[in-house]
Amino acid sequence: MKTVQVNVVTPDGPVYDAEVEMVSVKAQSGELGILPGHVPMVAPLKIGAVRLKKGSSTELVAVSGGFIEVRPDNVTILAQAAEAAENIDLDRAQASKERAERRLNQKTADMDSHRAQLALSRAINRIDIKNNRI
């Protein structure tokens, strides 16, 4: 079975490094499925899940946007924050979700709704990945 090397990297360091058979990401332009030998490309990502297919199992990594760089034999994902599913703290994500929802409901003049919306999306993404609802 052909494989492609995948690295997920953040400013805090590497988060994921493995050979996989397929990697799927949520690009700004839509879902992208990358197989070994893919033509080179770079694409911006949405907040979402990276799915990494290895044999019969699929691993999930939460990413908070960033970029994917594809080469025929390796894929690099650069994100401001990323967590493998097993490292997601569900309580923290729930608390973050509630905080963002409270902010969005306040609707005060100084509330940065775009920032709160992004925080909410990150929290929901982490919760969905942790609960395997992706």
Of 119, 115, 117, 123, whose CA–CA distance to 94 is shortest? 123
Q: CB-wise, 70 or 103, nearer to ligand ATP?
A: 103
Q: CB-wise, 40 or 114, nearer to ligand ATP?
A: 114
Residues with Cβ < 8 Å from 106, sequence gap 6 or more? Answer: none
With CB under 6 A as the rule, give the number of residues binding ligand ATP. Answer: 13
Rg (CA), the chain: 16
Pick from 22, 83, 103, 125 the residue near ligand ATP by CB under 6 A: 83
Phi, psi of 12 (to 5 degrees): -85, -5
Stretch that binds ligand ATP, among 20-28, 53-61, 83-91, 104-112 (CB under 6 A): 83-91
Pick from 52, 63, 78, 96 the residue near ligand ATP by CB under 6 A: 96
Q: Does 16 bind ligand ATP (CB under 6 A)?
A: no
Of 32, 28, 46, whose CA–CA distance to 117 is shortest? 46
